[in-house]
Amino acid sequence: MLLRLCIPVIFSSLLLLVSAIGTWIQPSTVFAAAYFEDGYLGLTQTELHQKLGMPQAVRDRKSALRVFTYYAITDWEKYFRKLVSPENGEDVYTFTRDNIEVRYSFSYTVDPNDESDNRTLFVRLVDIEFTPAVSIAKIPALVPEFHPSEDPASPSYRSNIWLLLFKGAASPQARFIVREASKDKFDWTLAYQLFSLQGLPDLLTTKALVDRVEISTQSIDLVRQRQRHTHDPILNPYSQEFFQQALTPRPPTGKRIPLPQYAE
């Protein structure tokens, strides 16, 4: 009689033990959180897919230049992702907003200490392209994640083909997605970089056309210390002061050709 009572108890205990061991040995799901207000940088690929759905395509960069090959998501998952490192594939989402094609491409990085076969991918950069090109003033209406500072003193820089705008406080966690070798020496902040294929005019206004925007993390100190010869500081183009400055007429900067003086 005692043996009959013990058998169910022992069996139930074994089931609980096996269940606990099975739960313990299952691979844990990695959860991350976005580092900045854009809501993307630092997310895992799984979290991005939960947020936006599955991508319409995946593209693979073929060189250091902007040369890509695009694959249907089904073809990428079945075959092509096995031929290259998974982090080389960029998830692509395309939207139409105000008759403008807005294409998002998400670049990934991995934890260098992760040696598993199926490494977790983390969003490190968001590339947003416009077809056709749009004015600087129109970008906030086309890209909900784009919230530039309106502070005139917010760090802003330019070259002849791009604008670089910083926003908010630095994030220590953001170093994880930075590829810079000396990344531990600097603080990393949310950055918006606007590119113009046709070039930006010397007299910049918010009517200037932009072809794409990159959302990433960059370092203000790195720019000031090592890139000051290529990054010209400017007034924040999304500030009211910049708008008023653009309305103020400026005297012509061209030099007058001197007229010769003749003796009478």
Q: How does pLDDT run across 61-83, given as a tens digit for each residue?
A: 876 678 898 999 888 888 887 78
pLDDT of residue 114: 86
pLDDT of residue 79: 82
Which tens digit of pLDDT belongs to each residue from 7-23?
A: 444 444 444 443 444 43
Residues 6+ apart with CB under 8 A from 117: none
pLDDT of residue 88: 85
Give the start-to-end residue ranges of the domains of the chain.
28-247
Mean pLDDT (whole number) for 141-158: 96
Is 255's pLDDT higher than 90? no
CA torsion 76-88-51-135 (nearest 10°) is -110
The SS3 assignment for 70 reads strand
| Contact by Cβ (8 Å): 215, 126 | yes
pLDDT of residue 78: 82
Residues 6+ apart with CB under 8 A from 80: 58, 60, 71, 89
Closest CA to 131 of 59, 60, 242, 212: 212
Backbone angles phi, psi at 129, to 5 degrees: -110, 145
| Contact by Cβ (8 Å): 217, 188 | yes
Q: Please, what's the b/e burial string for 241-263 (b: 16 or more CB within 10 A of its CB; e: otherwise)?
A: ebeeeeeeeeeeeeeeeeeeeee
pLDDT of residue 145: 96
Residues 6+ apart with CB under 8 A from 234: 156, 157, 158, 163, 204
Which tens digit of pLDDT belongs to each residue from 24-52?
A: 333 345 556 899 999 999 999 999 999 99
Residues 6+ apart with CB under 8 A from 173: 35, 42
Taking the C-alpha atoms of residue 262 and residue 250, their distance in angstroms, rounded to an integer, is 33
pLDDT of residue 113: 86
The SS3 assignment for 95 reads strand
Q: Per mean pLDDT, which range of 68-72, 99-103, 113-117, 232-236 is the poorest?
A: 113-117
The two beta strands, 57-61 and 68-72, are antiparallel
DSSP-derived secondary structure for 147-161: -----TTS-EEE-SS
Give the angle 185-191-193 at the CA atoms, nearest 5°.
Answer: 125
Confidence of residue 262 (pLDDT cuts 50, 70, 90): low
> Does the pTM exceed 0.85?
no
Mean pLDDT of the chain: 85
pLDDT of residue 260: 65
Mean pLDDT (whole number) for 166-173: 96
Which tens digit of pLDDT belongs to each residue from 219-228?
A: 999 999 999 8
Taking the C-alpha atoms of residue 65 and residue 154, their distance in angstroms, rounded to an integer, is 31
Is 2's pLDDT higher than 70? no
| Contact by Cβ (8 Å): 211, 130 | yes
